Amino acid sequence: MKAADRCAHVSRRLDEPLDATASRVRRWLLVEQPGSWGRDALFESRLDAAVARALAARADEVHARVVLVRQGVGSSDGEPLARRWFAARTEPALGGVVSSGVVSGQVAAAEELLAVDLRATMAAAAGPGAVGHPPVFLVCTNGKHDACCAEFGRPVYRELTEACPDDAVFECSHIGGDRFAANLVCLPTGVYYGRVPPERAATLLEEHHQGRIDLACYRGRCFHTPPEQAAEIDLRRREGLVGLDDVAVIARAALDDRRRRWGVTLTARTADGQGEAIWQAEVERSDGEELRILTCAGDAQRPPVFAVRSWARSR
């Protein structure tokens, strides 16, 4: 396939919106695995096949997504002296109490991963002690899954590792949205960024550390459904709200039997910063107007588009 025909190139040429395209994930299990990865990274790496199968089954029991991570483009295929793992919860704040966080550990051998109590670990990731854990940033570079992820992701990874010396940036396997490469996921906030330019990457990361969202690259937060993502992003743009906690979704309800329209209720910081307003959005799902490939290896289709059709402010 010619570079110009690859999914990310086509998506950029069509100026496909990034809005409401973040993958829906609330629990993450990140496993360090150096060396090359295949298309299905967990089962096509140097990780022992039996360990990979058992790990996938255990993660499924706690509804966690397994993602392989590594540091260093072109890293060695050798086994690490100590293999790190991270468990992350990406959850919205409930009643003002943060329920997201990251915990980590390390094992001497891959099979020792199976001794980790994932249920207890995921519970700990949402506990008070997890909130202060340093954040983790993932850049998808899984070129065997999609060439665009390597083409666009690796330059961003290099820039971020130079700008972030605290060992918090990792290459990662597939996280969704190949056509939006370069993709960056911030844990535990659950913020998805897409089409991150290398020259913008360090500034974007610094702004994220300061609690601000770059709306130009923002795909949504992974604990929200697509209708919720669409409403949150639209309200942020409408009101000029870039603070991470400036907008919160508090309710969602289907408005028709075909699940084509939703009502989404949100709270948003007021312009003076002294209070909150409550907003009601009507979000509609439609099919994209043009056929496009979602991945370089996929067939052309019309991906769903979620857009806000009306707003009402109740307070």
Going residue by residue through the chain, which has 315 residues, state the pLDDT in tens, using 9 for 90 and above. Answer: 788 889 999 999 999 999 999 999 999 999 999 999 999 999 999 999 999 999 999 999 999 999 999 997 545 555 666 789 999 999 886 655 557 889 999 999 999 999 999 999 998 887 654 545 689 999 999 999 999 999 999 999 999 998 886 779 999 999 999 999 999 999 999 999 999 999 999 999 999 999 999 999 999 999 999 999 999 999 999 999 999 999 999 999 999 888 899 999 999 998 777 788 999 999 999 987 778 889 998 888 899 999 999 999 987
Using CA atoms, how far residue 278 sits from 170, 267, 282, in Å, is 38, 5, 14
Instruction: Measure the CA dihedral 303/44/58/130, to 10°.
Output: -80
Is 248 exposed, middle or buried, given 0-12, 13-18 or 19+ CB atoms closer than 10 A?
Answer: middle
The secondary structure of 15-26 as a DSSP string is T---TT-----S
Identify the DSSP state of 201: H
Outline where DSSP puts E strands in 97-151: 101-107, 136-140
The pTM for the full model equals 0.94
Prior bond of 134 cis (ω within 30°): no
Nearest to 64 by CA among 86, 82, 45: 86
